[in-house]
Amino acid sequence: MTVTVFILSLLAAMAIGMPIAYALLVCGLTLMGYLSLTSGVVTFDSQILAQRFVDGADNFPLLAVPFFLLAGEFMNAGGLSRRIVNLAMAWVGHFRGGLGYVTVIAAVIMASLSGSAVADTAALAALLIPMMRAAGYNIGRASGLIASGGIIAPVIPPSIGMIIFGVAGNVSITKLFLAGIVPGMLMGVAIGLTWWWVAKKENVPPGPRVSMPDRLKITAEGGFALALPVLIIGGMKFGVFTPTEAAVVAAVYSFVVGMFIYRELKFKALYSLILSAGKTTAVVMFLVAAAMVSAWLITVANIPTEVANMLSPFMDNKMLLMFVMMVLIVIVGTALDFTPTVLILTPVLMPVVLKAGIDPVYFGVMFIMNNAIGLITPPVGTVLNVVCGVAKISMDDAFKGVLPFLLAQLAVLFLLVLFPSIVLVPLHWLMR
């Protein structure tokens, strides 16, 4: 019955158009009232909610969120993103469907810089959609490719989604970052192979081949951008800094490169960039704080035990249990955005994962990948909406274009369900 009260109160608040953060608070109030009336486990007290709300945001690892968002703003404004696209163009732009391969390579590299799917997708779409339209590509298909490339950002470190999951699920963020490298690369390979297959339908002449001296020059210009993921991942692997400190390093590095080396980041733009990062941070932090209220009441109400009982037929088979949970998350991800899904389902599913003996880091990577895929599934599909806005196409055209790549990403997801060692073996090697 408690699970029913939790779900119905959340859905009812969302149905009347209430923002997710406020819906989570209403859900918390409803749960507290229900528990105080039926079980006496907790007394209805608004001060407890206020205290839990503040405690939810008072978490040191969450400091990484504003700094990674700020780093993304500096990279886009400072020319790092554009140089990554130029670098990919120089090396693979002359192949058949070359701009598609440029998109895949640029998406993987940019994913290792910012950790935000929406920011990466917006930057890629703004740079590549006009070029692909001018070259004669099918824009629906091109938009689908860009959207599917953008969702690699929450999987490859640094990932804002993994930071939020790590805080909500009490899982090592460093391990999550390192475990996400191989799955993120596999997502890139999957959409690259899918583009190779669908590009046969594109009757577009390949671009001109760039000479080797020019390639080397463009690569050297993009070297400062390419050095950032090496700096972040290397620093965490060798214990030089924590994920939170890595976020500060990323922000400072991208600021210095954009301002003093590429000289495209201007002092007059700093206020608007910091303000933009601050606004996004405020939204994320408010969501996290509100979700922590519900998470505490979920624990008090013993909802994870009820969910575990529902899933008890699958408890003896880890692979089958993971498959069922992944299907559940796919379904939820079509209706909820990335961050709310992570914050709502983490406190519910993590006890089930631990009881079943599933590695929490492995589950975290799979969970984040699944939620990232939800960013390109209608009706919510935040990343898909971003591409539609930039390309000025309908959601129907964008979904038709993204469908082959969506299926490829789901194939990778369920491949990792079948073979967990693809995630865990590289993680153990990187943690040595």
Residue carrying the six token digits 């990792």 = 416
Rounded mean pLDDT of 74-78?
91
* pLDDT at position 40: 64
* pLDDT at position 398: 93
- pLDDT category at 58 given cuts 50, 70, 90 is confident
* pLDDT at position 42: 61
- pLDDT category at 200 given cuts 50, 70, 90 is confident
Least confident of 130-134, 207-211, 272-276, 321-325: 207-211
Residue carrying the six token digits 């963020």 = 173
Average pLDDT value over all residues in the chain: 90
What distance lies between CA 138 and its chain's CA centroid?
26
Residue 356 carries which DSSP code?
A: H
CA-based nearest residue to 343, from 289, 403, 404:
289
CB 124 within 8 A of CB 103: yes
Rounded mean pLDDT of 98-119?
91
pLDDT higher than threshold 90 for residue 237: no
Cα gap 30→374, rounded to integer Å = 28
Q: Percentage of the chain with pLDDT > 70? A: 98
Phi, psi of 280 (to 5 degrees): -65, -40
* pLDDT at position 61: 85
Return left, alpha or beta for 19; rule: phi > 0 is left, psi -120 to 50 is alpha, else beta. Answer: beta
* pLDDT at position 43: 64
Rounded mean pLDDT of 35-62?
78
pLDDT higher than threshold 90 for residue 260: yes
The segment with the largest mean pLDDT, out of 3-7, 115-119, 244-248, 363-367, is: 363-367
- pLDDT category at 41 given cuts 50, 70, 90 is low
pLDDT higher than threshold 70 for residue 91: yes
pLDDT higher than threshold 90 for residue 307: no
- pLDDT category at 250 given cuts 50, 70, 90 is very high
pLDDT higher than threshold 80 for residue 408: yes
Task: Give kind and range of the element (H or E) at residue 185.
Answer: helix 181-198
- pLDDT category at 336 given cuts 50, 70, 90 is confident
- pLDDT category at 51 given cuts 50, 70, 90 is confident
pLDDT higher than threshold 90 for residue 373: yes
Whether the CA torsion 234, 159, 69, 61 is positive or negative: it is: negative
pLDDT higher than threshold 80 for residue 263: yes
Neighbours of 239 (CB within 10 A): 8
* pLDDT at position 301: 78
Rounded mean pLDDT of 88-104?
92
* pLDDT at position 139: 94
State the greatest distance between any 2 C-alpha atoms of the chain, in Å, as a whole number. 75
pTM higher than 0.85: yes
Cα gap 299→151, rounded to integer Å = 31
